[in-house]
C-alpha cells in the first residue's frame, strides 16, 4: 500500500513466551490495540523489537503476520540493521517479498563507516528494492551521523524519502526544512522530544511508549494536527515521566514492563537482556504505576474515533 511518512508509527516490541519462543498470540493482541487506537503505521525489527536476537525466519514470520493483521489498514515497515551490505540487500529483498510497505535503515552496524561508505551503503540497498526508505539518523547511539550534505546526495534517489530524526537537536528539524522543504519527510525518533519536534515541523512520530499507551500517543499527534496545542501539552506533561523510560539503555525491559501493566504485553525478553530487578525495577514500576493511576480521560478531548 502507499506509504505516507506521517503520523504515529509504533516501533513495536517482539513478544516471547517463557521458553523463549515467539508469542504470536500476544503479539497480535498488541498490534490490534495499536490499530484500534488509530496509529498510522507499524515498524518492526528496531531496537525495541530486539531484532539483533531474532533469526531470519523469525523476522520473516513477524513481518508476514503483521501484514496479515494490518490487512491494508496501515503500512508495515521493517528495519534493516545488518553488518554486511550483502546481508542488508538480502533483508530488503525478503522484506519486499513478504509484503512490507517500506524500510527503515540504519547505517552499517559495528563499524564506524566514513561518510562515503555510509552513502554507498544506503545507495546499494536502495538500488536493490523498489520500497521507500526512511533513514534512521541516530548518531548518539550509533556513532554515525547522516549530515545534511549527505542527505543532499542521497535524496537524488527517489525512494529515499524520510528520516527518523534522533540527533536530539531540535534545531536540526529547522535545518532540514530550510534545506529540503518537504522533500525529506521528518519523523521524530525520540519520545521525549516528539511534541517539540512536531511543533517544529516533523510530520510524524516513531514512538516507543506507544507500545503500552497507544491511545494517548495518538491523541497527542491528533491534537497537534488540529492546532489544539495546549491540550496536546496537557497530555504530554502527564506522559513525560513514562516517555523518559524510552531514552535508557534498558528501554526494552522498561517498555515491556509498561506493556504488561496495561494488559497488552509481557515482560519476557531474549538474552542477553534480562528482566529488571532490585531498585531499578522498583523505580520503573513506580513510574508506570503512577502513570496508570493518573492516566488522562481522553473522552474530554472529543477526538474522532479511528476508522478501522
Q: What is the pLDDT of residue 304?
A: 79
Residue 307 and residue 300: Cα distance in Å, rounded?
Answer: 19
Q: Is residue 78 part of a domain?
A: yes
Q: What backbone torsions phi and psi does residue 187 show, to the nearest 5 degrees?
A: -120, 130
Cell digits of residue 269: 525478553
Q: What is the pLDDT of residue 18?
A: 97
**Of 173, 57, 80, residue with least CA distance to 129:** 80
Sign of the Cα pseudo-torsion (173, 228, 42, 243, in order): positive
Q: What is the pLDDT of residue 1?
A: 72
Are 157 and 97 within 8 A, CB to CB?
A: no
Q: Is residue 308 part of a domain?
A: no
Q: What is the pLDDT of residue 175?
A: 98
Q: Is residue 307 part of a domain?
A: no
Question: Residue 27 belongs to a domain with what CATH number?
Answer: 3.20.20.70
Convert the pLDDT of each residue in 254-297 to its tens digit: 999 999 999 999 999 999 999 999 999 999 999 999 999 999 99
Convert the pLDDT of each residue in 203-223 to its tens digit: 999 999 999 999 999 999 999
- Return the residue matching grid coordinates 550483502: 86
pLDDT under 50: residue ranges of the chain? none
Q: Is residue 198 part of a domain?
A: yes
**Model-level pTM?**
0.96
Q: Which domain holds residue 287?
A: 7-301
Q: Is residue 153 part of a domain?
A: yes
Coil, helix or strand at residue 240? helix
Q: Is residue 306 part of a domain?
A: no
Q: How many domains does the chain have?
A: 1
Q: Is residue 1 part of a domain?
A: no
Q: Is residue 2 part of a domain?
A: no
Q: What is the pLDDT of residue 307?
A: 62
Coil, helix or strand at residue 92? helix
Amino acid at each position: 500500500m502507499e506509504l505516507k511518512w506521517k503520523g504515529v508509527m509504533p516501533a513495536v516490541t517482539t513478544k516471547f513466551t517463557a521458553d523463549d519462543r515467539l508469542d504470536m498470540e500476544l503479539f497480535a493482541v498488541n498490534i490490534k490495540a495499536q490499530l484500534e487506537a488509530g496509529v498510522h503505521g507499524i515498524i518492526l525489527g528496531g531496537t525495541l523489537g530486539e531484532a539483533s536476537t531474532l533469526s531470519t525466519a523469525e523476522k520473516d514470520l513477524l513481518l508476514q503476520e503483521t501484514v496479515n493483521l494490518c490487512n491494508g489498514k496501515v503500512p508495515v515497515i521493517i528495519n534493516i540493521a545488518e553488518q554486511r551490505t550483502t546481508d542488508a540487500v538480502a533483508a530488503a529483498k525478503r522484506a519486499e517479498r513478504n509484503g512490507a510497505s517500506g524500510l527503515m535503515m540504519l547505517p552499517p552496524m559495528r563499524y564506524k563507516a566514513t561518510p562515503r561508505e555510509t552513502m554507498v551503503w544506503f545507495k546499494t540497498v536502495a538500488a536493490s528494492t523498489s520500497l521507500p526508505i526512511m533513514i534512521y539518523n541516530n548518531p548518539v547511539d550509533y556513532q554515525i551521523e547522516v549530515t545534511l550534505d549527505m542527505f543532499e546526495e542521497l535524496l537524488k534517489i527517489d525512494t529515499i524519502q524520510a528520516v527518523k530524526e534522533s540527533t536530539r537537536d531540535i534545531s536540526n528539524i529547522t535545518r532540514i526544512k530550510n534545506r529540503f522543504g518537504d522533500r525529506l519527510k521528518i519523523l521524530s525518533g525520540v519520545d521525549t522530544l516528539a511534541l517539540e519536534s512536531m511543533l517544529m515541523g516533523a510530520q510524524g512520530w516513531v514512538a516507543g511508549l506507544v507500545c503500552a499507551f497507544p491511545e494517548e500517543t495518538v491523541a497527542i499527534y491528533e491534537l497537534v494536527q488540529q492546532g489544539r496545542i495546549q491540550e496536546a501539552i496537557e497530555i504530554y506533561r502527564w506522559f513525560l515521566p513514562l516517555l523518559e523510560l524510552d531514552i535508557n539503555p534498558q528501554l526494552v525491559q522498561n517498555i515491556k514492563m509498561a506493556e504488561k501493566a496495561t494488559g497488552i504485553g509481557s515482560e519476557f525478553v531474549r538474552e542477553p537482556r534480562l528482566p529488571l530487578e532490585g531498585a531499578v525495577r522498583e523505580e520503573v514500576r513506580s513510574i508506570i504505576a503512577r502513570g496508570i493511576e493518573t492516566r488522562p480521560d481522553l473522552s474530554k478531548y472529543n477526538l474522532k474515533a479511528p476508522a478501522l
